Amino acid sequence: MKLRAGLLLGVAFATGLAIGPVSDQLQSRFGISVMPQALAQDSSRAETYRLLNLFADVFERVRAEYVEPVNDRELIENAINGMLTGLDPHSSYMNAKSFRDMQVQTRGEFGGLGIEVTQEGGYIKVISPIDDTPASRAGVKAGDLITALDGHTVQGLSLNDAVEKMRGAPNTRIVLTVRREGNDKPLEIALVREVIKLRVVRSRLEGGDVAYIRVSSFSEQAETAMRKAFNELKAKSGDKLRGVILDLRNNPGGLLPEAISISNDYLNQGEIVSTRGRHAEDTQRWNAKAGDITGGLPMVVLINGGSASASEIVAGALQDHRRAILLGTRSFGKGSVQTVSPLPGNGGMRLTTARYYTPSGRSIQGLGITPDVEVAATREERARFGPEREADLTRALKNIGGAAQNIAPPRNDLPPIVKDIAKLPPENQPAFDPTKPETDYQLQQALTVLRAMPVPTKRASR
């Protein structure tokens, strides 16, 4: 496919296109006016117009000579998507249906399987299954590479096309072919689509005095649900909470405002995050307002390789301010911000417009956040199939503009027991069962660390 496109471009360059006829094509089909006087006055603009002429010529040749009739809209949308996906892994074009689906998903309800995905090497990579959905119940795991849908390869499909095929009417069946680390043969996983109503926050009391709160994504109302969960656990404990565990493992991110609001709930002051775009005047900073909802209770945040984007904003802010101890494994490393804009025709564009930086000024782009206490979920050494983190993705943004080291400042406030925390579970550790917290090795170590942290004598919550 790449060779064919290259040959078309080469032919177009070699033909020495006349500006007049093709400028008429651009004007009539795309509303682009190519003015000879502008070409003479501005060489940069002239080059742009020459390339637009090139595009028009390729477009005409495909329409006239491709082996089968092609749809003009499909050609243009494919070209737009190629322009955007060629920039970085997170910019893309959404047609009208995909744009509507994205808006619905952001609101926390959509139809499908319940997986967050990205694209790499022609395959669809699972960032994270969403809790209590067909995907999570069927055993789909973060890092799985989906190679086929109902027996048809995903190679050649755009990410949007693949997502659209995975979505569908409730009670319809689909079979995913998956390559998984540690498995020599592909797995076939059959799922039945459902209306996915995201429950982005789950919570419970651990030991009667620790608030365990899991946030699975940063969709709308995530902060409201998280705050409600904390207040309910506080009341259930008889106002005797001694700490909070915030679980952001396999949380692929979501809305920046929700990440800022959740960070603000646990901070009294200081910067939460800053973003820097192409121009200096685009720099923005968000600061915390006084009023930690916990009154300064000890806090541990769980992260892993599936914690990305908005999750890393929260984890980075709480780590830099020494508000929480981070435990787990290094996060995904997505340090960029995407702006979603509607386009004529009811489609939309997701465009990377800024990098974000933690309060200490570090960029985690491609690096991720290193936990204060490194603890693996399993002893298994798994073979790698494809990319695991942001830095592995094709055309990932470079890490620039941050603090010199781009690592968290060294900590001297960790409880002594941290030195005794084993990075790997014992050999007799039972297999993880989400219904049995005692099988969650990372969570159990988080509880150990939390109970070793001093509790403030005075607590004042919002």
Provide DSSP, 379-436: S--PPP-S--SGGGSTTPPP--SS-SS-SPPP---S-GGGGG--SS--TTPPPPBTTB
Question: Among 268, 296, 293, which residue's Cα sits nearest to residue 456?
Answer: 296
Which amino acid appears at position 399 of this protein? N
The pLDDT, as a whole number, for residue 200 is 87
Give CA angle at 369 (364, 374), nearest 5°: 160
Q: Fold for 201-451, please state it.
A: 2-enoyl-CoA Hydratase; Chain A, domain 1 (3.90.226)
- pLDDT band of 407, cuts 50, 70, 90: confident
The pLDDT, as a whole number, for residue 7 is 29
Nearby residues of 215 by Cβ (< 8 Å), 6 or more positions away:
200, 201, 222, 226, 246, 247, 248, 251, 262, 311
Q: How far apart are CA 27 and CA 366, in angstroms?
A: 42
Give the range among 7-16, 64-73, 429-438 with minimum mean pLDDT: 7-16
* Cα dihedral 385/387/388/393 (nearest 10): -170
The pLDDT, as a whole number, for residue 458 is 59
Q: How far apart are CA 144 and CA 161, in angstroms?
A: 18
Among 132-146, 255-269, 391-405, top mean pLDDT goes to 255-269
Q: 446: helix, coil or strand?
A: helix
Q: How far apart are CA 227 and CA 295, in angstroms?
A: 13
Matching CATH number, 109-197, of 2.30.42.10, 3.40.50.300, 3.40.120.10, 2.60.120.1440: 2.30.42.10
Are the C-beta atoms of 406 and 399 separated by less than 8 Å? yes
Taking only the tens place, the pLDDT of each residue in 28-55 is: 555 555 444 444 456 788 888 899 999 9
Q: Count Cα atoms within 13 angstroms, Cβ side, for 246.
A: 30
Q: How far apart are CA 278 and CA 374, in angstroms?
A: 35
Taking only the tens place, the pLDDT of each residue in 436-453 is: 889 999 999 999 999 999
Are the C-beta atoms of 143 and 127 separated by less than 8 Å? no
Count of Cβ atoms closer than 10 Å to residue 75 Cβ? 15
Nearby residues of 147 by Cβ (< 8 Å), 6 or more positions away:
123, 153, 154, 155, 177, 178, 179, 186
Q: How far apart are CA 308 and CA 394, in angstroms?
A: 17
Mean pLDDT of 323-349: 93
Taking only the tens place, the pLDDT of each residue in 117-130 is: 888 778 899 877 87
Are the C-beta atoms of 39 and 46 separated by less than 8 Å? yes
pTM (2 d.p.)? 0.74
Count of Cβ atoms closer than 10 Å to residue 20 Cβ? 9
Question: Among 173, 142, 377, 398, which residue's Cα sits nearest to residue 252?
Answer: 142
Taking only the tens place, the pLDDT of each residue in 304-328 is: 999 999 999 999 999 999 999 999 9
HEC sequence for 245-298: EEECCCCCCECHHHHHHHHHHCCCCCEEEEEECCCHHHCEEEECCCCCCCCCCC
The answer on pLDDT for 275 being more than 70 is: yes
Mean pLDDT of 345-354: 91
Question: Which one-letter DSSP state was computed for residue 218?
Answer: B
Give the CA distances from residue 101 to residues 35, 149, 347, 450, in Å, rounded to whole numbers and listed in that order.
40, 19, 11, 40
Residues with a known catalytic role: 309, 320, 334
The pLDDT, as a whole number, for residue 95 is 87
The pLDDT, as a whole number, for residue 404 is 65
Are the C-beta atoms of 347 and 93 separated by less than 8 Å? yes
Count of Cβ atoms closer than 10 Å to residue 2 Cβ? 6
- pLDDT band of 108, cuts 50, 70, 90: low
- pLDDT band of 18, cuts 50, 70, 90: very low
Q: How far apart are CA 127 and CA 145, in angstroms?
A: 10
Are the C-beta atoms of 394 and 313 separated by less than 8 Å? no
Residue in the block written with tokens 């959404």: 94
Q: Is 31 left (phi over 0), alpha (psi -120 to 50) or beta?
A: left
- pLDDT band of 109, cuts 50, 70, 90: low
